[in-house]
Amino acid sequence: MTDFTNVTNLLRAALDDPARPAKELRRDASSKPAEVLQFIGFAPGMNVLDVNAASGYNTELVARIVGDRGRVIAHNHPGAARLLSPQDLQRRYGDERLPNTKQIWARHNDLNLTSASLDAVLMSMIYHDTYWFDAKVAWGPVDQRAMLLDLREALRPGGIVGVIDHCASAGADPVQSAMAAHRIDPAIVRRDFLAAGFELAAESQLLRSSDDDYALSVFDAAVHGKTDRFVMRFRRPS
C-alpha cells in the first residue's frame, strides 16, 4: 500500500524548494499539485511517463515522489520545441539535477515504449491537443486510439493514467473545441479511454470552477489559470 504520509512529505519538500522559479510558485495555487498528484496515485519506486511534459513543472514533482528507485520519462513532441525555453529545460534537467529522469522527443504515435515497463502515465492539460493540429509545427493529426493502446501496452496490469484537462461544453466536438479554445468535453475522454480498454477508477472535483466561460480560449486573460478542469484516474485492468 502507498504510504500517503511519505508522499505528502516528499511533495511538500519539493514544493518548498527555494530554487523553484516564481512562475511555478504562482501556478501552485490554481494547479494544486500536491492534492492532484496524490489523487492520481504516484508513489515511490514507480516508473512514470509524463506525456507532453513541457518545461517539466509536474515532471520534477513526480520525480521527487518516485525517488531513486523510480524513474520518469519526460516526453515532448518535437513540434513543441519552438515553444519551450532552452534555458528552462537546462534549469530543469541540466547537470543531472534530476538523475532519475530522461527526456524524450517523439510524436504521439511514435513513443516506442517497452511493454509493461510503466506503472503510471500523466497527461496534464494535453489530451485535448491530440485533437488539435497545425501543419506548421507537424503536430497531428493524432490517432488517439492507437496512442492509448500503446500506453495500455506499456503499462503493467493495474497501472494508472492521470488525465487533467480544461472542460468544454457537454457534447462539444473535440476537434472544434480543441482548435478554438484548447478544451475538451470530459465525456470524450471517458469514451476514448474506455474504448481502449481502460477502466475509469475515480474522478476528482479538485480543480472544478463554476466561474469559467467555455466559449473562451484557456489562454484568454479572463480565464487563464482559472479554467474549469477535470481530473480523472484511469486504470489498466489486471
- pLDDT tens for 91-143 read 999 999 999 999 999 999 999 999 999 999 999 999 999 999 988 877 888 99
Q: What confidence score (pLDDT) does residue 79 get?
A: 85
Residue range 210-219: mean pLDDT, rounded: 97
pLDDT mean across residues, the chain: 95
Question: Taking 60 as the threshold, does the pLDDT of residue 1 lie above it?
Answer: no
Asked if 34 and 55 count as a contact pair (C-beta separation under 8 A), the reply is no
pLDDT of residue 5: 80
Cα-only R_g, the chain: 17
Contact (Cβ atoms closer than 8 angstroms) between residue 215 and residue 182: no
Crossing angle between the packed helical segments 57-66 and 4-15, to the nearest 10 degrees = 140
Per DSSP, the three-state class of 159 is strand
User: Cβ(36)–Cβ(204) under 8 Å?
Assistant: yes
Percent of the chain scored above 90 by pLDDT? 88
Q: What is the mean pLDDT of residues 130-158?
A: 93
Across the range 69-80, mean pLDDT stands at: 94
CATH fold of 4-235 reads Rossmann fold (3.40.50)
pTM of the predicted protein model: 0.95
